[in-house]
Structure 1
Amino acid sequence: MSIQTLFNPFEYKNLTLKNRFVMAPMTRAFSTDGIPDSAVAGYYERRAAGDVGLILTEGTVIERPSSKNLKDIPNFYGDQALAGWKNIVDAVHEKGGKIAPQLWHVGYTPMQWTPPAAFESPDTMTLADIEATIQAYADAAKSAKDLGFDAFEIHGAHGYLIDQFFWEGMNHRTDEFGGKTIKERSKFAVEVVKAMRKAVGPDFVIILRLSRWKQQDYTAKLAPTPAAMEDWILPLTDAGVDIFHGSQRRYWEPEFEGSDLNFAGWLKKISGQPTI
């Protein structure tokens, strides 16, 4: 494939990009007390001025307790934070750019700050917790569309909340959100995607970021065979994912013996959808 392909336009549903360069999400943690301000807007405006096709923002958290692990990670809820994001969208669009927020819940992860609520150790999510979290994702999806974002990305990788449900060693649930197979353990992610799709309608692009490795364990491998990967990816595709974002670290390495395809290649082969 020629590198020229990167400079070709891309169109999918409501999303039209001038080229296929995508700025990956990177945690900045410079939104004081969770409110993105003019400095944050300027940061993204400068990237848009550089003609990147699509900007994926840093992770921005949904409205749930313990959804963040650093106090200056931006919120994606509340009047002040959403007004800040609206300014960012307008600034990026003014420069001719396109932008999508990465919607995030960190789940169980070491904290480097003391949260405003009383500190508690991790506990199993109740079914009510799960229902409320799914709704919070749906609310964030609707906010993204209402604010004028061009798409949104769900952070389902790197050992954070959605990813935690995928792993057998982490997910010990005995209800409908657990199970021995990755297909069973994918139910939480599937329900999140379905709720978000319902919130934004059929034509708004949903991106899902996934990884086969963990944040602090690069040797871990989720879905160890192509068949297991099908069990993982196909239900997510059917739920409404439009584009898969495969986080691989070493993109030149094949995922399985006997094939030259990397993670993004396998995601595309199995889902039939575009990949990042």
Structure 2
Amino acid sequence: MLASRLVMAPMTRMFSPKGIPGKNVAQYYSKRAENGIGLIITEGTAINHPAAVMSPDIPRFYGEEALNGWANVVNEVHQAGGKIIPQLWHVGAARKAGSEPNIDAPTVSPSGLTLRGQRNEKIKALTKEEVAEMIDAYAEAAANAKRIGFDGIELHGAHGYLIDQFFWELTNKRTDDYGGDLGERTKFAADIVRACRKEIGPDFPIVFRYSQWKGTDYQAKLAKNSNELEQLLTPLVEAGVDIF
């Protein structure tokens, strides 16, 4: 039960040096709960992959120190009467090669393409094995979210970030079972949801954020009509998404 019907949207802040959310982060979120926000969705947090994000100040969602910091955030929000879920994030090709915190890690995407669908030697196409490892990283984050006391998770599948890059025809030219038509391009996201659901059980909420537009193209459309929207969302519902 939420204390109110107000939900705080995720907003990237870059206030976690070395990826560790500190006391100021706990205070920031608990203050929102104290003032009537029923559900807080955190800023985007990096899953356990070296190229997940593009700043050392974006909070991590892996490693003991970062997870202990998040556990403190959860505790403070709960004491203030609120509920809180983390947004789990990988930016894919939106990351500039050479970005901190892992400057030597190659930027990755479904097909080695930029967000404008262009070839770029600095962007690496994920292999089938790397796709499986990425799915495991999301599932690991989901399990940790439940373990440290969060009230659910949100998967960031919008705005041209990695999951959305698998959805989008412009950035997904794969010829394996993670590419193809719109329904087939949902496989990566659906596999992530299934893997998360396996780790967290049937009663832990999964929220999925999706969008038509991208940071590089506000006119983009994944689904041009209701039938295509059904093709996009049905596999995610069947995999275990509770809220879009």
The answer to whether the superposition gives a TM-score over 0.5 is: yes
Q: Who is 1:205 aligned against?
A: 205
Displacement of 1:216: 2.1
Distance 1:32 1:115 in 2: 10
Distance 2:105 2:153 in 1: 31
The answer to whether the 8 Å contact 2:51/2:105 transfers is no
Alpha-carbon displacement from aligned partner over 1:163-201 (angstroms, at most 9, x marks no partner): 00001110010000000x210000000000000000000
The answer to whether the 8 Å contact 2:50/2:102 transfers is no
CA RMSD in angstroms comes to: 1.1
Q: Who is 2:94 aligned against?
A: 109
Letter in 1 for 2:102: P
Distance 1:125 1:72 in 2: 25
Distance 1:23 1:86 in 2: 19
Displacement of 1:125: 0.2
Correspondent of 1:76 among 35, 39, 61: 61
Displacement of 1:117: 4.3
Q: Who is 1:127 aligned against?
A: 128
Q: Does 1:34 align with 2:35?
A: no
Correspondent of 2:40 among 31, 36, 55: 55
Distance 2:198 2:223 in 1: 28
Displacement of 1:119: 5.4
Q: Who is 1:232 aligned against?
A: 232
Distance 1:241 1:207 in 2: 6
Structure having greater relative contact order (Cα 8 Å, sep ≥ 6): 2
Correspondent of 2:104 among 98, 102, 118: 118
The gaps in structure 2 that reach 5 residues or longer are 107-121
Structure 1 segment 1-276 matched on structure 2, within 5 A: 16-111=1-96, 113-118=99-104, 120=106, 121-179=122-180, 181-244=181-244
Q: Who is 2:111 aligned against?
A: none
Higher radius of gyration, 1 or 2: 1
The gaps in structure 1 that reach 5 residues or longer are 1-15, 245-276
3-state secondary structure, aligned to 2:42: strand
Alpha-carbon displacement from aligned partner over 1:71-100 (angstroms, at most 9, x marks no partner): 110000000000000000000001011000
Letter in 2 for 1:105: H
Displacement of 1:116: 3.1
3-state secondary structure, aligned to 1:211: strand
Distance 2:22 2:211 in 1: 31
Letter in 1 for 2:154: E
% of aligned pairs identical? 53
Distance 1:201 1:218, change over 3 A: same
The answer to whether the 8 Å contact 2:143/2:200 transfers is yes
Distance 1:110 1:132, change over 3 A: closer
Displacement of 1:17: 1.0
Which stretch shifts more, 114-123 or 78-87? 114-123
Distance 1:34 1:229 in 2: 36
3-state secondary structure, aligned to 2:183: helix
- How many residues end up aligned between the 2 structures? 228
- Runs of 4+ with >6 A deviation: none
Which stretch shifts more, 189-198 or 61-70? 61-70
Alpha-carbon displacement from aligned partner over 1:31-64 (angstroms, at most 9, x marks no partner): 0010000111110011111111100000001001
Distance 1:92 1:119, change over 3 A: closer
Distance 2:23 2:128 in 1: 39
Alpha-carbon displacement from aligned partner over 1:223-260 (angstroms, at most 9, x marks no partner): 1011000000011000000011xxxxxxxxxxxxxxxx
Under a length normalisation based on structure 1, what TM-score does the superposition of the two structures give? 0.81
Letter in 1 for 2:51: S
Under a length normalisation based on structure 2, what TM-score does the superposition of the two structures give? 0.91
Displacement of 1:115: 4.1
